[in-house]
Amino acid sequence: MSYSESRAWLQSDISSDIRYETDTSLPPEGFRLSGGSGAYTVVSADEAGRMYGSYALQAKLSLGETDVSLESAPAVSERILNHWDNITGVVERGYSGASLFFKDGALAYDPERMRFYARLLASVGVNRICFNNVNVTPGSAKLITGELLPSLSKLAAIFRPFHIRVIIAVDFNSPVLLGGLPTSDPLDGSIAAWWQSAADAVYKEIPDLAGFLVKADSEFRNGPAALGRTQADGANVIARALEAHGGKVYWRCFVYNCEQDWRDGVTDRPKAAYDHFFPLDGEFDRNVVLQVKHGPSDFQVREPNSPLLGAMKHTSQAVELQITQEYTGQQIDLYALAVQWEEIFAAPVSDTRLTRDLIGSEVTAVAAVANTGSGENWTGHTLAQANLYAFGRFAWDPSVSAQDVLNDWIGLTFGTDPALREPLLRMMLSSRGVYEKYNAPLGVCWMVNIHHHYGPSPEGYEFSKWGTYHRASRTAIGVDRTENGTGYTAQYHPALNKLYSDPKTCPEEMLLYFHRLPYDFVLKSGKTLLQHIYDTHFEGVRDVEGFIKTWDALKPLLPEGAYRSVAARLQWQLLNAREWRDVINTYFFRLTGIPDEKGRTIYP
Amino acid sequence: MSYSESRAWLQSDISSDIRYETDTSLPPEGFRLSGGSGAYTVVSADEAGRMYGSYALQAKLSLGETDVSLESAPAVSERILNHWDNITGVVERGYSGASLFFKDGALAYDPERMRFYARLLASVGVNRICFNNVNVTPGSAKLITGELLPSLSKLAAIFRPFHIRVIIAVDFNSPVLLGGLPTSDPLDGSIAAWWQSAADAVYKEIPDLAGFLVKADSEFRNGPAALGRTQADGANVIARALEAHGGKVYWRCFVYNCEQDWRDGVTDRPKAAYDHFFPLDGEFDRNVVLQVKHGPSDFQVREPNSPLLGAMKHTSQAVELQITQEYTGQQIDLYALAVQWEEIFAAPVSDTRLTRDLIGSEVTAVAAVANTGSGENWTGHTLAQANLYAFGRFAWDPSVSAQDVLNDWIGLTFGTDPALREPLLRMMLSSRGVYEKYNAPLGVCWMVNIHHHYGPSPEGYEFSKWGTYHRASRTAIGVDRTENGTGYTAQYHPALNKLYSDPKTCPEEMLLYFHRLPYDFVLKSGKTLLQHIYDTHFEGVRDVEGFIKTWDALKPLLPEGAYRSVAARLQWQLLNAREWRDVINTYFFRLTGIPDEKGRTIYP
């Protein structure tokens, strides 16, 4: 629902007879709900648990449940939202309007909307927020200085009652940028002192600050490697400054060579995070959290999980998801991320453990890049609100199912009438698969327009410096990442290495991520790889046409504004799907000269 | 030479005993030089002729001539430099620093440097200048308003003594933008009145203004077509406002569908200018000049001349060249445009006439997009100064040879020592061909990175909306633009249509501009098209390596600063050439699967 609709809804909170009790044996932030017929009990060990219990109860009542019995606690203590908001007011990879927090180089926000936003995030379990972009600009670097800190502190005060603690993205080079020192070398004593004094000043204003987020040595940003130091040296010098204050360093692992030569067939970008960080296991201070993107590429439509996740045994990790749909339709195309996240958390890390088994163990935090902005409906696409909601649910409990999460979101947003809820649930559950059908095929990735990442460009990244190549020729496509090729698969547990290394056992949807295959390779369906590409691309468009029919049929059951805005996005998505279909099919037809078996139109 | 070197040189002007005489039988701006041994006579009909004669004499003396005898007059009365400078200070497609004229939304210039620039342009015969970008922004639209006009008038006053008249690029939609009127419809009486009143106000400040330059209905800009009016309606309404003041409208013909669907094989962008303007011949007022880009695409490395040039018999035309090297190396790569321009002016327009025969007849003006900026050496690449010089020479006399022009420029810039002059001349004369060798092959165009236009991207524009497709497949490449294909060749004189339509007679360097051909098509050299591509791309890099050797050998004969700056650019060019070579060769190797006959490295 839109911001204004939400405000009305907030004022009509269900009022029931609720009793609050304390039970210190419950885990932090956890709660136990019980009761029925208008009288309920919320039991918790702490204030936060009481809040989460209240929200959970309210959700259950909103969904029409009357008898309530639930005990719940979050899988991890840190559930983090990363905004990529520039202090200019522009949101990097933002598709929902301008920044909610910044404008023209300063903090600028509507306090009422902020309180609502804090409540919204708290209601789905988010308890950490970073307002400024990991790509810290000279302007936003000043968030830790006297110039901007007082107003940041006021903003933090709005989120505090909702048990949301603030993280600040800082520039590794701050000692030079802000302190005027000649270096940022982490092993230089003056640098440790500078960070200590900066941290002390920040904690004076925001005593419960969660910590600093750092993107270092990544995509032209400063970092310890440029100074001949390790990632651990870089993270630790900042972590030590925060330790006495109870703060952490969230250190991003998105480190790779972004000036690769496409002619270089040995360097393989997916290997980078593991290669850079795995050897340093044990060298990071205990208040360093390594923040690892869920996949080894960059939030693609389809990629395997990062082999770094769970590989480190003596280092805290955060898994980083992306709610904003950078490569997944930019909130124009419908893409329910819950489906992808369910797969991510259910994917194995070894022969005995799944990724979700890491959560709360090696992985102590779940983070995600926000999809919210100043637009009236928060998320650009109204149905993309479900992605923000789903993030909260998965961060709280990674074993939840996409079906349950989306079903709840639909019920809470549009009501529980099965005539609306069931078809919309089917549509949303299928949406990731549909987008994938008309996108780059079989996990090959990166067939996307350069820079802005919307729409197809089969060779858009093929000769770039970003390390993103599929090397399609007239006979074959893909990169052999097995031990016969770049050796990437060896970064996985032996059982997974084996699974991924054989095209017969490799999950088919990731076939071209791991293998270079001829177009006549036969899939389990009995189709050739090429015919599969043609078929899925025709199907994808047909499926979007189906979305439009479904949505139109639901019109009488939907609020007018939501109906119209989503209907307009679906038409836009249809154009996008057709463009993908035709460009991708034409690209492969030109390369192979092989027509579609079913004689459908492929432009020459 | 650099700006500061030039200033020193200016102060040491050769002083000779020069007598000035008037002969009203000489053409406007023309002159006659005679004399020897330090005593010379400059005869002219007017002040401008006296100035040009003086510069010509000075050039001759600088080149070591002692006995001088020359009679000369310009082929056209208007020799126009178009700056694409935004009022922000950024130069569109500028590779030589910031704007010389604007900064932060206002006029901002160094008056001394401006006087020097005016003198520099006058010395090569330029007599019209437009300071602001044809892509008029809301800010620069205000150049015709009281807000900016007074400072523009002051700038015009600096150029006036050098017989350079100012042109202002205006927005067709000015009546709405500036006047607050509800429409810019040229057939609406209030619009004619608005333009009249605007023109009157401008001429009050700048009485010798040459006129207004308009880019209308082009690349998302406003224009008459959007209002259901013709290009003639649009141009004439503005022309009538200027007529009493002696002003002209320079109306650009760069009108095409920039939102084309790549699936559309019928629409063909090169046809657009002719299709839009030819039918209107005779409908333009006599003070309208249609400004036509020399080629039908967009300043590509190789394209045929526009069929619109000379096609119109009752309309004045300007041919538009591009000095700034948008698609030709961006002043990183050496590219002596004189060579290209010599070809352009020597190309036939019919069975009896060459393009240069139009100059001074149907074509009443020669215009070019400037390559100058605030950088110390004016043009980014020191040797790109030769392109500005050459523009003046070709605009004055389109039958001049590239060899003469470049030889003169080298002599005037670096001295007349043959040990320097001859190798440098050979290098510069070959530079266009070398760039072409490693660029997109055989006139196929557009294999370039999207937007910024530097470096190779074989399919960068292949699925875009810009109407720029080569449609390469595993078997063939190019667009059939004959009457069997898009019919573009029919826009030419029948003799040229015949010439271009047959791959056997079509100039080979433009083969893929006019034809779709298989990779095994045999060229006159006996090579296949594919082997020609491989060979030229290997040769191009080798040639750049040769440039570096040549330049290094000249080091003792060169000013240190010029040596170093060009040496650095040549190294940069070598990287670019290698990138083009490898990307283009790999692209075709992947498509065709055919290896290089000579076994050289092509990356798979």
Which secondary-structure segment (H or E) carries A345? helix A337-346
Residue B7 has pLDDT above 80, yes or no: no
Q: How far apart are CA B96 and CA A273, in angstroms?
A: 39
Does B590 contact A473 at a Cβ distance shorter than 8 Å? yes
Neighbour tally for B406: CB within 10 Å:
27
Of A263, A582, A590, the CB nearest to B263: A582
Nearest chain A Cα distance for residue B474, angstroms: 5
Residue A264 neighbours by CB under 8 Å, 6+ apart: none
CA atoms within 13 A of residue A449's CA, in its CB half-sphere:
20
Tracing tokens 């997009």 back to the chain, one arrives at B369
Does B474 contact A263 at a Cβ distance shorter than 8 Å? no
Q: How far apart are CA A159 and CA A121, in angstroms?
A: 9
Read off the pLDDT of each residue in B24-46 and give the average, rounded to a whole number.
Answer: 96
Please report, as a single letter, which amino acid is at residue A51.
Answer: M
Judge whether A310 and A358 are in contact, CB under 8 Å: yes
Judge whether B498 and B351 are in contact, CB under 8 Å: no
Dihedral pair phi/psi, residue B359, rounded to 5°? -70, 125
Which chain B residue has the Cα nearest residue A457? B463
Burial of B262 (C-beta count, 10 Å sphere; 0-12/13-18/19+): buried
Name chain A contacts of B265, Cβ cutoff 8 Å. Answer: 604
Does B471 contact A590 at a Cβ distance shorter than 8 Å? yes
Q: How far apart are CA A385 and CA A213, in angstroms?
A: 25
Structure tokens at B259: 């939102």
Q: What is the pLDDT of residue B159?
A: 98
Nearest chain B Cα distance for residue A570, angstroms: 21
Q: pLDDT, tens digit, for every residue of B66-76?
A: 999 999 999 99
Nearest to B410 by CA among B394, B431, B393, B389: B389
Q: What is the pLDDT of residue B15?
A: 59
Residue A452 neighbours by CB under 8 Å, 6+ apart: none
Nearest chain B Cα distance for residue A464, angstroms: 9
CA-CA distances (angstroms) from residue B170 to B202, B211, B232?
12, 10, 16
Angle between helical axes of B189-205 and B149-159 (0-180°, round to 10): 50
| Dihedral over Cα of B60, B61, B63, B66: its sign | positive
Name chain B contacts of A472, Cβ cutoff 8 Å. Answer: 590
Report pTM: 0.94
Q: How far apart are CA B98 and CA A564, in angstroms?
A: 46
Q: How far apart are CA B451 and CA B460, in angstroms?
A: 9
> Of the residues B71, B147, B219, B259, which is catalytic?
B219
Name chain B contacts of A265, Cβ cutoff 8 Å. Answer: 604
Please report, as a single letter, which amino acid is at residue A178.
Answer: L
Judge whether A581 and A598 are in contact, CB under 8 Å: no
Q: What DSSP state is assigned to residue B594?
A: P
Neighbour tally for B418: CB within 10 Å:
9
Beta strand ranges found along A381-535 (DSSP E): 476-477, 517-518
Backbone φ/ψ region at B135: left (φ over 0), alpha (ψ -120 to 50), beta: beta
> Of the residues A112, A147, A219, A261, which is catalytic?
A219
Backbone φ/ψ region at A257: left (φ over 0), alpha (ψ -120 to 50), beta: beta
Give me chain B's average pLDDT, please.
96
Q: What DSSP state is assigned to residue B584?
A: H
Of B263, B459, B590, the CB nearest to A474: B590
Which chain A residue has the Cα nearest residue B588? A473
Which chain B residue has the Cα nearest residue A471? B604
At A62, is the secondary structure helix, strand, or coil? helix
Which chain A residue has the Cα nearest residue B473? A590
Which chain A residue has the Cα nearest residue B459? A459
Q: What is the pLDDT of residue B400?
A: 98
Does B474 contact A592 at a Cβ distance shorter than 8 Å? yes
ipTM above 0.85, yes or no: yes
Q: How far apart are CA A255 and CA A260, in angstroms?
A: 13
Residue A26 neighbours by CB under 8 Å, 6+ apart: A32, A43, A44, A45, A49, A71, A73
Dihedral pair phi/psi, residue B421, rounded to 5°? -65, -40
> Of the residues A78, A85, A233, A326, which is catalytic?
A326
Q: What is the mean pLDDT of each run of 10 residues along chain A (604 residues)?
A: 51 69 98 94 97 96 94 98 98 98 97 97 98 96 96 98 98 97 96 98 98 95 95 98 98 94 96 97 98 97 96 96 98 98 98 97 97 96 98 98 98 97 98 98 97 97 96 98 98 98 98 98 98 98 98 97 97 98 98 98 97
- A544: which strand partners? none
Q: Which residues of B47-64 are buried (b: 16+ CB within 10 A; e: fewer)?
A: ebbbbbbbbbbbbbbbee
Nearest chain B Cα distance for residue A475, angstroms: 8
Is beta strand A288-293 parallel, antiparallel or unpaired with respect to A316-322? parallel
Confidence category of residue B17, pLDDT binned at 50, 70, 90: confident
Structure tokens at B96: 């030589």
Residue B2 has pLDDT above 90, yes or no: no
Structure tokens at A62: 């909103």
Told to judge if B326 belongs to the known catalytic residues of this protein, a careful annotator would answer: yes
Name chain B contacts of A461, Cβ cutoff 8 Å. Answer: none
Q: What DSSP state is assigned to residue A378?
A: S
Q: pLDDT, tens digit, for every residue of B473-501?
A: 999 999 999 999 999 999 999 999 999 99
Residue B42 has pLDDT above 80, yes or no: yes
Name chain B contacts of A591, Cβ cutoff 8 Å. Answer: 473-474, 590-591
Does A473 contact B582 at a Cβ distance shorter than 8 Å? no
Of A262, A457, A604, the CB nearest to B463: A457
Angle between helical axes of A529-554 and A560-592 (0-180°, round to 10): 170
Nearest chain B Cα distance for residue A115, angstroms: 39
Nearest chain A Cα distance for residue B546, angstroms: 24
Judge whether B48 and B30 are in contact, CB under 8 Å: no
Q: What is the pLDDT of residue B38?
A: 84
Structure tokens at B318: 């300007």
Neighbour tally for B181: CB within 10 Å:
17
Of B265, B579, B593, the CB nearest to A474: B593
Nearest to A576 by CA among A464, A455, A457: A455
Structure tokens at A158: 């709005």
Q: What DSSP state is assigned to residue A182?
A: S
Domains of chain B: 3-72 (3.30.160.230), 78-400 (3.20.20.80), 441-479+516-592 (3.90.1330.10)
Please report, as a single letter, which amino acid is at residue B484.
Answer: N
Of B472, B473, B579, the CB nearest to A593: B473
Residue B37 has pLDDT above 90, yes or no: no
Q: What DSSP state is assigned to residue A361?
A: T
Name chain A contacts of B473, Cβ cutoff 8 Å. Answer: 589-591, 593, 604
Name chain B contacts of A267, Cβ cutoff 8 Å. Answer: none
Is beta strand B39-44 parallel, antiparallel or unpaired with respect to B31-36? antiparallel
What's the alpha-carbon Rg for chain A, to the nearest Å?
24
| Vertex B127 angle, CA B122 and B132, to 5° | 105
Is beta strand B288-293 parallel, antiparallel or unpaired with respect to B248-252? parallel
Judge whether A134 and A215 are in contact, CB under 8 Å: yes
Q: Which residues of A466-494 are buried (b: 16+ CB within 10 A; e: fewer)?
A: bbbbbbbbbebbbbbbbeebbebbebbbe
Which chain A residue has the Cα nearest residue B456? A463
Backbone φ/ψ region at B478: left (φ over 0), alpha (ψ -120 to 50), beta: left
Judge whether B166 and B82 are in contact, CB under 8 Å: no
Structure tokens at A209: 């600050």
User: Chain B residues contacting A, CB < 8 Å?
Assistant: 262-263, 265, 450, 456-460, 463, 471-475, 579, 582-583, 586, 589-593, 603-604
Pairs of CB atoms within 8 A across A/B: 59
Structure tokens at A138: 């000279």
Please report, as a single letter, which amino acid is at residue A527.
Answer: K
DSSP string, B224-245: GGGGT--HHHHHHHHHHHHHTT
Does B590 contact A459 at a Cβ distance shorter than 8 Å? no
Residue B1 has pLDDT above 60, yes or no: no
Neighbour tally for A153: CB within 10 Å:
17
Angle between helical axes of A385-396 and A337-346 (0-180°, round to 10): 20
Which chain B residue has the Cα nearest residue A588? B473
Of A265, A450, A590, the CB nearest to B474: A590
At B548, is the secondary structure helix, strand, or coil? helix
Burial of A286 (C-beta count, 10 Å sphere; 0-12/13-18/19+): exposed
Nearest to A493 by CA among A354, A359, A365, A361: A354
Q: What DSSP state is assigned to residue B251?
A: E
Mutate to test the interface with A, among B471, B519, B590, B594 (most CBs of A within 10 A): B590
Which chain B residue has the Cα nearest residue A474? B591
- A211: which strand partners? A167, A248
Of B262, B450, B456, the CB nearest to A463: B456
B227 Cα distance to chain centroid: 30
Nearest to A458 by CA among B40, B416, B394, B457: B457
At B34, is the secondary structure helix, strand, or coil? strand
DSSP string, A554-600: HGGGS-HHHHHHHHHHHHHHHHHHHHHHHHHHHHHHHHH-PPPTT--
Name chain B contacts of A471, Cβ cutoff 8 Å. Answer: 590, 604
Confidence category of residue B310, pLDDT binned at 50, 70, 90: confident
- A448: which strand partners? A456
Told to judge if B539 belongs to the known catalytic residues of this protein, a careful annotator would answer: no
> Of the residues A78, A298, A342, A543, which is catalytic?
A298
Q: What is the pLDDT of residue B355?
A: 98
Does B592 contact A458 at a Cβ distance shorter than 8 Å? no
Of B472, B473, B582, the CB nearest to A263: B582
Q: What is the pLDDT of residue A37?
A: 86
Q: How far apart are CA A472 and CA A347, in angstroms?
A: 28
User: Chain A residues contacting B, CB < 8 Å?
Assistant: 262-263, 265, 450, 456-460, 463, 471-475, 579, 582-583, 586, 589-593, 603-604
